[in-house]
A and B are shown apart, each in its own frame.
Chain A
Amino acid sequence: MSKKNYSLLLKNARLIDAGQNLDKQVDILLGDGKVVEVADVISSAAEQVLDLDGAWVMPGAIDLHVHLREPGFEYKETILSGAQAAVAGGFTSIACMANTNPVNDSAAITRFILEQARLAPAKVLPIAAISKGMAGDELVEMGDLVDAGVVAFSDDGKTVANSKLLRHALEYASLFNKPLLCHCQDNALFANGVVHEGLVSAAHGLAGIPSLAEDVDISRTIMLAEYLNTKVHICHLSTKTGVYLVRSAKARGVKVTAEVTPHHLFLDERAVVDLAYRESLDESLKPAKLCYNTATKMSPPLRSVDDVVALRAALADGTIDVIATDHAPHEATEKAVEYELAPFGVVGLETAVALGLRLIQEKVLTPLELAARLSSTPAAILGLNDRGTLAPGLAADLMIVDPELMWTVDPEKFYSKARNTPFSGWQMRGRVVKTIVDGKIVFNL
């Protein structure tokens, strides 16, 4: 399968490629790991021919935000298991956050990650920490890390509370044209919160995380980027005011980009106490009785209905540039505890694209917009010009989607080592059936 000059012809594909602004029926010829030709009809010979009969082909999804847990927390996830989950979900490139143990704050750790990723089915892109040990005191050696292969810098999981350090990080990273991915959170306002401060926290006595904790820090981050005229990327935007802040910054010409997770687009605070509250495509989903489901605990938390509405509108109008999963695997017993004790985080690699298809079904996005949010825009943010679109000469990284395939999310069938998804039992329409990386089929449903 991996021999040189292998060629694969995809016949009768509906190519949805935002990078080329194409949504049409075509044939696609892949060879030597690259896209060779895209045309209405290709009749040249290939070693393998797949007639897709109208199934969708989209550039492979690129996730700016995953936690692969290796090194240090291999019991939660490994680079290999995370990459397997990625390709099973249609992701061909995944950028992994630095909060491992040890933290990815040196070229040696970056090289270790890349070494571990050699046999992984997806392309693994290490993100380095902003500060040494993510302690918020000293900058990492950015030049050395860039040479070792990092694509961005982030202290994700923590905010960079020291504004002077954040300033210097933005300035220094701009030398290398690498983005800073900012986890925005005011620690004092966040305090000991576990759920969104709102209806559910009030009614159930759970400590609230005010949306203010996020908004205040998004403001600070945007102000720094505006003042310095540098790029900055806001991680997992979850609030209506955050949307407003990013939208108005973009209107002023600030070089800010933002991501949203699928869970913040599909669930609100009510899911904390009743996962089945949301009207689902599956009518057999019974209204659950009161439970405090730790699969709904993440940071930032599931917000209010108003926030969800604002996030969807912002994703549609491009204020929010990309969908990123914030895939955060945890071992089952870590989550099988009291809600307040459970670690923050949910997995997302194996459900994100299907939820993206649901955004099309719910008329939030067009297919081309989804392709932009999942592939071409994340590639642009990371400055990856060899992928994200299926133009001839670029990497043959793609997913084949059956848009009508009905399936049910079953965490027991995940390739990820973790099961902590809030979407367990959801009925989905549309699924990734094949994933191709560098011209090779790496996932086949």
Chain B
Amino acid sequence: MRFERKDLLGTRDLSAAEIRYLLESAESFKEISERPLKKVPALRGKTVINLFFEPSTRTRTSFEIAAKRLSADAVNMSASTSSVVKGESLIDTVDNIQAMAPDIIVVRHKFVGAAHMIAERVGASVVNAGDGANEHPTQALLDLLTMSEHKTLGPDLTVAIIGDIAHSRVARSNIWALTALGITVRVCAPPTMLPRGLDEIPGVVVCKRVEEALAGVDVVMMLRIQLERQDRLLFPSIRDYARVFGLNRQRLDLAAPDAIVMHPGPMNRGVEITSEVADSDRAVILNQVTNGVALRMAVLFLLGGQGHE
């Protein structure tokens, strides 16, 4: 099989076969990061632009390392240094970048559909590194890659996603990818952070209480609570959130005995997850970060290395 797409904009429209192919490809890139000389010439001469309209440290670094380990020339462009702050439109910014003939553009943007808009406009391949609350496909794929190290990805698996679902692109990309593989997804959030209409998505089970979501589950995925949202009347206090929705040792005991704990980071220790759980042997949070590089190498390679001119 080949990955025939020009862009990776989301997991929503990926088939199960495409997802499995991406994960298999990522497997083969894991080993490169364990070598003393962590570099292969796969994308030598290719230019990857990390176009970040929103601040990000770990995702941008992960993409940059992935590109460099494939010998691509990686250039970082962030909104604070670009003309966006001067009021330039997205289309004009993108036309300028396209004029410099990049091969791959990795985009992070605060608005939904920005990556789709760019992909429509440029010949380069586009990787969506997060568009508003819509999608963050490489995060979901690296989550699956991490799960696959411990679990068989298929209909016997149940994953609970707990936290601010409404504002989470990580949740959405995971929902599409997991349900594509037949995995049952339970979602749990304060009612104010649970989008209306979510229960109409096939394969998604909405749980009211966190205890209900955790019961016998194989994978627990905690989402970051954005503390800055607190003024939007979505929950009474951080303290109350931690009390009602936080993952602690007792609650984790409700999950399957071999359940793993994931978090896309950055964590608010003591809010959505206690340090006791985050630092336990059940947590695979740093493995997610390690796998992120391999997964992104696979994505860049499949998009940039197969001649999508």
Q: Do A and B bind each other?
A: yes
Binding site for B on A (CB under 8 A): 197-206, 208, 210, 290-292, 333, 336-341
Contacts of B196 in A (CB 8 A): 197-198, 201-202, 208, 210
Contacts of A202 in B (CB 8 A): 195-198, 200-201
Q: List B residues 152-187 near A (Cβ within 8 Å).
A: 166-169, 172
21 cross-chain CB contacts under 8 A: A197-B195, A201-B196, A201-B197, A202-B197, A203-B12, A203-B197, A203-B201, A205-B133, A206-B112, A206-B133, A206-B134, A208-B195, A208-B196, A290-B9, A290-B10, A290-B13, A291-B113, A292-B113, A292-B117, A333-B89, A336-B89
Contacts of B169 in A (CB 8 A): 205
**Given known contacts A199-B197, A205-B112, A205-B132, what 6 new A-B pairs fall within 8 Å (CB)?**
A198-B196, A202-B198, A203-B201, A205-B166, A205-B172, A208-B195
The answer to whether B197 and A198 touch across the interface, beta carbons within 8 angstroms, is yes
Query: Which 10 A-B residue pairs are closest in the complex by CB-CB distance?
Result: A205-B133, A292-B113, A202-B197, A202-B195, A338-B111, A205-B134, A340-B111, A199-B197, A202-B198, A198-B197
The answer to whether A203 and B112 touch across the interface, beta carbons within 8 angstroms, is no
The answer to whether B13 and A199 touch across the interface, beta carbons within 8 angstroms, is no
Looking at the assembled complex, report how far the CB atom of A268 sits from the nearest CB atom of chain B, in whole angstroms. Answer: 13
The answer to whether A197 and B197 touch across the interface, beta carbons within 8 angstroms, is yes
Answer yes or no: B46 CB below 8 A from chain A CBs.
Answer: no
Looking at the assembled complex, report how far the CB atom of B229 sits from the nearest CB atom of chain A, in whole angstroms. Answer: 12
Contacts of A333 in B (CB 8 A): 89
The answer to whether B197 and A339 touch across the interface, beta carbons within 8 angstroms, is no
Q: Which bracket fits the contact residues of B?
A: 20 to 34
Output the nearest chain B residue to A192 by Cβ-Cβ distance: B232
CA distance A336 to B198 in the complex (A): 29
Answer yes or no: B90 CB below 8 A from chain A CBs.
Answer: yes
Contacts of A338 in B (CB 8 A): 90, 109, 111-114, 117
The answer to whether B89 and A206 touch across the interface, beta carbons within 8 angstroms, is no
Partner of B172, one of A203, A292, A340: A203
Answer yes or no: B116 CB below 8 A from chain A CBs.
Answer: yes
Answer yes or no: B215 CB below 8 A from chain A CBs.
Answer: no
Contacts of B114 in A (CB 8 A): 338
A201-B117 contact, Cβ under 8 Å, with A206-B132, A337-B89, A338-B109: no
Contacts of B116 in A (CB 8 A): 290-292
Among A338, A340, A341, the one with the most B-chain Cβ atoms within 10 Å of its Cβ is A338
Output the nearest chain B residue to A199 by Cβ-Cβ distance: B197
Answer yes or no: B276 CB below 8 A from chain A CBs.
Answer: no
Output the nearest chain A residue to B120 by Cβ-Cβ distance: A291
The answer to whether B91 and A339 touch across the interface, beta carbons within 8 angstroms, is no
Contacts of B172 in A (CB 8 A): 203-205
Contacts of B10 in A (CB 8 A): 290
Contacts of A337 in B (CB 8 A): 89-91
The answer to whether B90 and A205 touch across the interface, beta carbons within 8 angstroms, is no
Looking at the assembled complex, report how far the CB atom of B112 sits from the nearest CB atom of chain A, in whole angstroms. Answer: 5
Contacts of A208 in B (CB 8 A): 195-196
CA distance A203 to B197 in the complex (A): 8
A340-B197 contact, Cβ under 8 Å, with A205-B112, A292-B112: no
CA distance A290 to B120 in the complex (A): 10
The answer to whether A336 and B91 touch across the interface, beta carbons within 8 angstroms, is yes
A199-B200 contact, Cβ under 8 Å, with A290-B13, A292-B113, A340-B112: yes
Please encode chain B, from 198 to 226, with 1 for each CB lying within 8 Å of some chain A CB and 0 for all others: 10110000000000000000000000000
Output the nearest chain A residue to B165 by Cβ-Cβ distance: A202
The answer to whether A201 and B13 touch across the interface, beta carbons within 8 angstroms, is no
Looking at the assembled complex, report how far the CB atom of B110 sits from the nearest CB atom of chain A, in whole angstroms. Answer: 8
Output the nearest chain B residue to A200 by Cβ-Cβ distance: B197
The answer to whether A339 and B112 touch across the interface, beta carbons within 8 angstroms, is yes
A204-B112 contact, Cβ under 8 Å, with A292-B117, A336-B89, A338-B90: yes
Looking at the assembled complex, report how far the CB atom of B130 sits from the nearest CB atom of chain A, in whole angstroms. Answer: 10
Among B13, B114, B195, B200, the one with the most A-chain Cβ atoms within 10 Å of its Cβ is B195
Contacts of B198 in A (CB 8 A): 202
Looking at the assembled complex, report how far the CB atom of B308 sits from the nearest CB atom of chain A, in whole angstroms. Answer: 17
Output the nearest chain B residue to A191 by Cβ-Cβ distance: B232
Looking at the assembled complex, report how far the CB atom of A197 sits from the nearest CB atom of chain B, in whole angstroms. Answer: 5
Please encode chain B, from 49 to 81, with 1 for each CB lying within 8 Å of some chain A CB and 0 for all others: 000000000000000000000000000000000
Looking at the assembled complex, report how far the CB atom of A341 sits from the nearest CB atom of chain B, in whole angstroms. Answer: 7
Please encode chain B, from 261 to 295, with 1 for each CB lying within 8 Å of some chain A CB and 0 for all others: 00000000000000000000000000000000000
Partner of B167, one of A200, A205, A291, A339: A205
Contacts of B200 in A (CB 8 A): 199, 202
Output the nearest chain B residue to A289 by Cβ-Cβ distance: B13
Contacts of B89 in A (CB 8 A): 333, 336-337
Looking at the assembled complex, report how far the CB atom of B42 sits from the nearest CB atom of chain A, in whole angstroms. Answer: 29
Contacts of A204 in B (CB 8 A): 112-113, 134, 172
CA distance A326 to B188 in the complex (A): 40
Contacts of A339 in B (CB 8 A): 111-113
CA distance A206 to B172 in the complex (A): 12
Among A201, A205, A291, A339, the one with the most B-chain Cβ atoms within 10 Å of its Cβ is A205
The answer to whether B195 and A201 touch across the interface, beta carbons within 8 angstroms, is yes
Contacts of B113 in A (CB 8 A): 204, 291-292, 338-339
Looking at the assembled complex, report how far the CB atom of B176 sits from the nearest CB atom of chain A, in whole angstroms. Answer: 9
The answer to whether A340 and B132 touch across the interface, beta carbons within 8 angstroms, is yes
CA distance A333 to B111 in the complex (A): 17
Q: List B residues 133-150 near A (Cβ within 8 Å).
A: 133-135
Contacts of A198 in B (CB 8 A): 196-197
Looking at the assembled complex, report how far the CB atom of A137 sits from the nearest CB atom of chain B, in whole angstroms. Answer: 26
Contacts of B167 in A (CB 8 A): 205
Looking at the assembled complex, report how far the CB atom of A319 sits from the nearest CB atom of chain B, in whole angstroms. Answer: 26
Contacts of A290 in B (CB 8 A): 9-10, 12-13, 116
Looking at the assembled complex, report how far the CB atom of A196 sits from the nearest CB atom of chain B, in whole angstroms. Answer: 9
Looking at the assembled complex, report how far the CB atom of A49 sits from the nearest CB atom of chain B, in whole angstroms. Answer: 53
CA distance A202 to B89 in the complex (A): 27
Looking at the assembled complex, report how far the CB atom of B285 sits from the nearest CB atom of chain A, in whole angstroms. Answer: 24
CA distance A333 to B87 in the complex (A): 13
Contacts of A210 in B (CB 8 A): 196
Contacts of B117 in A (CB 8 A): 292, 338
Among B10, B112, B134, B200, the one with the most A-chain Cβ atoms within 10 Å of its Cβ is B112
Output the nearest chain A residue to B200 by Cβ-Cβ distance: A199
Contacts of A203 in B (CB 8 A): 12, 172, 197, 201
CA distance A276 to B249 in the complex (A): 50
Looking at the assembled complex, report how far the CB atom of B245 sits from the nearest CB atom of chain A, in whole angstroms. Answer: 20
Q: List B residues 89-128 near A (Cβ within 8 Å).
A: 89-91, 109, 111-114, 116-117, 120
CA distance A28 to B47 in the complex (A): 72
Contacts of A340 in B (CB 8 A): 111-112, 132
